[in-house]
Structure 1
Amino acid sequence: MLNIYRSNCTRLYELDLQTLEKGAWFKLINPTPEELELVAAATGSPLDFLKAALDEEERSRIELDENHMLVITNIPVMRGHDNYDALPLGIVLTPEYIITVCLEANEVLAEFSSENARAFSTFKKTRFLFQTLYKSATLYLKHLKQINRRTDEIERDLRRSMQNEEIFQLLQLQKGLTYFAASLRSNGIVLEKLLRLRSTSQVQHLIKIYEEDEDLLEDVIIENKQAIEMVEMYSRILNGMMDTFTSIISNNLNRVMKFLASMTIILAIPTMVSSFMGMNVDVPFGQSHGFLYTSLVALAVTILSAFGLWRKGMF
């Protein structure tokens, strides 16, 4: 899907290829090959720059051409309950346009809508780039807080039920944190490279950084570092929690096995006594009250055995 927008600091309006204006934003979501070729022809961007973010395994990086710069960053996505992932977002800067390419509609680009048109300007390409990176970093923090709250809920459920389902939910959250950790580290490398490139003559015709932009880039770096620290902390908490509850479940299993072993011993005693007394040979008490005496003997031995097992902590 291809949409072309431009904002004038008050409103966001849509364009097409026939009414194209300088400072326009090309928004590509899961584009077709025909749409990629149209954008490449209209902007002069290399086709491989536009296709780079369409690989789900693409890592964050920066590529420079004579008149184009490609910035690939990984943004967080939530695909379902307790299911978090990271998705590459490509941002191509040209002397006249800015292009974003992504495989899916996402919350980061959804922030740049007509309702928030006063907060951004498509013709201020550098600031628009930094605002996109800032939205991504804050979205990571938002999802990390959700993961932390969800972890607390699962912990409360585990204290009551100790079911496998809660363990699998923790594993799913741990998987999402692993994706976030890898994406945030690679995003940090991209941000540091942008910080170094801001004053080089190689990209000055593509990136014009003013004082406000400099502050915004520093805010993005701070938010990204905070997200990395939170991912590491929550990962350690989740790992410790999974290890703890796995040990608790194993300990509970041992207790059950001890109880079953004790019950087996106790039930074996009356069975053994009654087996001896039921043999087809002469046995004591065979003529009078034999069943009563046998039952009393079995009961006494069973009680003594149960008391001994209880003293040894088998119950």
Structure 2
Amino acid sequence: MMTTYSLRGSACAVHGGLDDAESIAAATWIDLLNPTPEEERAVQEALQIEVPTREEMQEIESSSRLYKEGEVLFLTASFLYGAEEGEFGSTPITFVLAPNALVTVRYATPKAFSIFAVRAQRQALPILKTPDGVMLHLFEQIVDRLADILERTASEMDRASQTTFRNARNMQVKANKRDVDLRQALLTLGQVGDVTTRASDTLLGLTRILTFVGAEKANAVRKENQQMIKTLVRDVRSLVEYANTMNNKAQFLLDAVLGIISMDQNGIIKTFTVASVALMPPTLVASIYGMNFDLMPELKWALGYPWALMLMVVSALLPIVYFKRKGWL
């Protein structure tokens, strides 16, 4: 699907599809979502550029993602999407910055694109004035969305860790509830790690794009928009540091949760070990008096049976008393 955004006076004109060929040539921003071959050809003929294919967008070499052909910049990076719905992933998006238009090629819809489309229609004049301005404002929206996602993810991680450690300290909490909390904490920390990793990949791609655009800004970015590059670089750098801090904290909490689980398992194993040791002497006594020898002094003894029972009870209690005095129980 192709959507074009152009500036008509101080208002935004939005057109969809191939019905209006003139809108392509007049557009400041052309957004291609899952483009058809016909839409790609229409854009290529109108702007005299090559729209990269999906296979070309998935290449990971830096030279295939960031390059210049004449006066046109081709900028590709992986972007996080779907974090709000919980079914998140990463998708490559290409920004083709031509002198007269910005073309975005994508196969998924990050929330930042939907928000930016509404914002562009509401604030048409400052945003759609130049194609490089559209691109930098779109980057700004993406950075804002990443900041919101990281903040929300950090809050979820803090809540999970507080619940886990509070219940771990409270010995009155039932074991089943503590197990559920630990399992939920592990799932939350796993999701945090996945989101922050994908967000870091997005920030790394933005860093590379901004570095490349900064090197070409004399020809690709108008003077009034060049200050935005410095602001975006600072914002991206701060988010990278924040994401790294979150990753380190998530790793620390993961080690702590695994440590709590290990302590609970050790407690269970210790209980079974004590029970096994306590039952060994009675088993030995029962084995001795279970032997079928003709000459056994206690065989015809009237008090032999109670004697054997008492001996087994005493032999079971002695290890338990010893363990308690040692502080092992």
TM-score category, normalised to shorter length: 0.7 to 0.9
Matched-pair contact (CA < 8 Å) for 2:5–2:12: no
Counterparts in 2 of 1:27 and 1:234: CA distance versus 1, 3 Å: same
| 1:287 partnered with 2:291 | no
| TM-aligned CA deviation for residue 81 of structure 1 | 6.3
Instruction: Output the amino acid matched with 1:18.
Output: A
Distance 1:56 1:140, change over 3 A: farther
Q: 2:216 aligns with which of 187, 191, 197?
A: 197
What is the CA–CA distance in structure 1 between the aligned matches of 2:84 and 2:111, rounded to whole Å?
Answer: 14
The alpha-carbon distance between structure 1 residues 79 and 147, as it changes in their structure 2 partners (threshold 3 A), is closer
What secondary structure is seen at the aligned counterpart in 1 of 2:11? coil
Which AA in structure 2 matches 1:236? N
Partner of 2:173: none
Q: Aligned match of 2:58 in 52, 55, 60?
A: 55
Corresponding position of 2:231 = 219
2:18 is the counterpart of 1:6? no
1:186 is aligned to 205
Aligned with 1:40 (options 40, 44, 48): 44
Residue 131 of structure 1: CA displacement?
A: 0.4
Q: Which one-letter code corresponds to 1:55 in the other structure?
A: Q
Alignment partners' CA distance in 1, 2:84 and 2:14: 32
Tell me the CA shift for residue 184 of structure 1. Answer: 1.4
Decide whether the 8 Å contact of 2:74 with 2:95 is kept in 1.
yes
Give the SS at the match of 1:224: helix
Question: Shift of residue 207 of structure 1?
Answer: 2.9
Stretches (4+) displaced over 6 A: none
> Does the Cα contact within 8 Å between 1:82 and 1:173 map onto a contact in 2?
no
Matches within 5 A, 1:92-131: 92-114=96-118, 116-120=120-124, 121-131=127-137
Q: Cα RMSD (Å) of the superposition? A: 2.7
| Matched-pair contact (CA < 8 Å) for 1:23–1:123 | no
Q: Could you tell me which of 167, 171, 175 is aligned with 2:190?
A: 171
Are the counterparts in 1 of residues 89 and 198 from structure 2 also a CA contact under 8 Å? yes
Contact 1:3-1:27 at 8 Å conserved across structures = yes
Structure 2 CA distance for partners of 1:152 and 1:219, relative to 1, 3 Å: same
| SS, match of residue 280 in structure 1 | coil
Per-residue displacement from partner, 1:124-179 (whole Å, max 9, x unpaired)? 21211110111111111111112212212332454442444542442232133223
Partner Cα distance (2:66, 2:308) in 1: 88
Q: Deviations over 1:254-288 (max 9, x none)?
A: 22222211100112222222232333342437432
State yes or no: 1:140 paired with 2:146: yes
Looking at structure 2, the residues matched to 147 and 221 of structure 1 have their Cα atoms a distance apart, in angstroms, of: 23
Do the aligned partners of residues 26 and 176 (structure 1) sit closer, same or farther apart at CA in structure 2, a change above 3 Å counting? Answer: same
Which structure dedicates a bigger proportion of its chain to helix?
Answer: 2
Matched to 1:96, the amino acid is N
Give the Cα separation in 2 of the matches to 1:116 and 1:194. 22
Of 129, 134, 155 in structure 2, the residue corresponding to residue 149 of structure 1 is: 155
Q: What's the secondary structure of 2:14's corresponding residue?
A: strand
Q: Percent identity?
A: 17
Tell me how far apart the structure 2 counterparts of residues 28 and 58 of structure 1 sit (CA, whole Å). 23
Unaligned 5+ runs, structure 2 = 168-177
1:307 aligns with one of 318, 321, 328: 321
Give the conservation status (yes or no) of the 8 Å contact 2:143–2:235: yes
| Aligned equivalent of 1:18 | 21
Q: How far, CA to CA, are the matches of 1:182 and 1:112 in structure 2?
A: 21
Deviation of the 1:3 alpha carbon:
1.7
Aligned residues: 307
Distance 1:124 1:187 in 2: 20
Higher deviation after alignment, 234-243 or 14-23: 14-23
CA distance in 2, matches of 1:89, 1:242: 33
Q: Cα distance, 1:112 vs. partner?
A: 2.8
Which string of whole-angstrom CA distances, capped at 9 and with x for unpartnered residues, describes residues 24-71 of structure 1?
A: 3211011122321221112211233x6577428576943212132222
Q: Distance in 1 between matches of 2:153 and 2:192?
A: 7
